[in-house]
Structure 1
Amino acid sequence: MFFLTDKLVFPPVDSANSDGLLAVGGDLSPERLLLAYKKGIFPWFDNDSIILWWSPNPRMVLYPDKIRVSKSMKKVIRDDKFKLTKNTCFNEVLEHCSSVSRKGQDGTWITKEMKNAYLELYERGIAKSYEVWEGENLVGGLYGIDLGHVFCGESMFSLTSNASKFAFIKLAEELRDKEYGIIDCQLHTEHLASMGAQEISRKEFVRLLNAR
């Protein structure tokens, strides 16, 4: 196991174990986080753990032009049920992502330390949020790290049916038009797969990260 020090360095991603765990320790400084994302690494841990750094193989991604929009979602979009904004309430999106309960999860990996780190990245224009409104109410959204050609999705939430799907679809459509290569979804879920996301090898993922 590779233990990080104060030095801004990570081991090669292909040295991760079979679960994708690459390294432990270090800190969540903006510089380390940005270096991690550029190398295909992300932090994921809970309040009772030291910082864990991951680079899974395979990697779940969405090619923006392959977003899958169901008939029911097309109707939701046509009916103008939701309104989308960007980067207007990043902190609120972060708080909702950390507090909304999810099936099969007892707690959250978005610790206070993680929140502070991503808020600092937001202030630097690197972390972005997409917010979904129903009337005057914030009902869904997502946030992630924007590398300029790859968007690294971190978390999403819904307080009403289809709100996070709406945010994800709008994100994909915008990044498709901007010719982004992929949206990093990190790990496989049936929900993401139903919307067109797929698994690729870590080697291919890193190649896409470096394709600039």
Structure 2
Amino acid sequence: MQGLSAEMLLSGYAQGIFPMAESREARELYWFDPQLRGVIPLQKFHISRSLARVIRRETFTISTNAAFRAVVEGCADRPETWINAPLVALYDELHAAGYAHSLEVWKGGELAGGIFGITLGAAFFGESMFSRITDASKVALAYTVDRLTQAGFRLFDTQYLTPHLASLGGVEIPRLEYRRQLARALERPAEFTAPAVPSPQSILQRMTQTS
């Protein structure tokens, strides 16, 4: 698939499919529609005692959409990645149009980790996350789940389920059930940038009540 536009990408997400490249150097993109879809049930996100301690220490500073391209590049900065140049360009375009967002984790003024994704209605399609410091990606995920919950999102799509995501409450659901949840989420409005960045105390209180 060549010549994928931002509009085509959004249309694909709305239908339940997503594009990936075979490698960083590849120019071709392919649509994927797995039989089992990874999702994080927003009300069942698990925050461990060790992660709670990390958040409580206030070692990290959180921001949103402050370094979108840097987060994408951080996610692609690994030996093997499905994020190629055409996808980076599309993400930049969607970010400028208000459909792509990032959450950054900082330590000492340096970007320590983050997560980025695409939003449509009340669905958040998590593309990737990265960490340069221990626990930074876990902190990013916790703050992202809290943000999505507070903003009224109904679906957190992770595409595939990894052991790391499973340890934090991620599950796999059949394609048909995913399509049902997606359809319901697309009918509702939600705004990723609406909530303010919460204090460690408030996010831990909410997570304790729902996990």
Q: TM-score range by the shorter chain?
A: 0.7 to 0.9
Query: Do the aligned residues in 1 keep the contact of 2:46 with 2:168 (CA within 8 Å)?
Result: yes
1:172 aligned residue (128, 138, 145): 145
Give 1:138's aligned residue.
Answer: 111
Percent of aligned pairs with the same residue?
A: 39
Give 2:178's aligned residue.
Answer: 205
The aligned amino acid for 2:38 is: M
* CA RMSD after TM alignment: 1.2
1:35 aligned residue (11, 32, 37): 11
Q: Which moves more between the two structures, 44-53 or 126-135?
A: 44-53
Give 1:56's aligned residue.
Answer: 34
Shift in Å, 1:49: 5.9
SS in 2 for 1:139: strand
Q: Deviations over 1:79-114 (max 9, x none)?
A: 101111000110111111111x2xxxx422111111
SS in 2 for 1:73: helix
Give 1:150's aligned residue.
Answer: 123
Give 1:5's aligned residue.
Answer: none
2:88 aligned residue (93, 112, 115): 115
**Number of matched residues?**
183
Q: Which moves more between the two structures, 62-71 or 171-180?
A: 171-180
Shift in Å, 1:182: 1.7
Q: Please identify runs of 4+ aligned residues in structure 1 that moved more than 6 A.
A: none
Give 1:66's aligned residue.
Answer: 44
What residue ranges of structure 2 are gaps of 5+ in the alignment? 188-211
Structure with a larger share of its residues in helix: 2
1:88 aligned residue (60, 66, 74): 66
Give 1:21's aligned residue.
Answer: none
Q: Deviations over 1:152-201 (max 9, x none)?
A: 00011100000011011111011112231121011121000000010111
What residue ranges of structure 1 are gaps of 5+ in the alignment? 1-24
2:163 aligned residue (183, 190, 205): 190
The aligned amino acid for 2:140 is: A
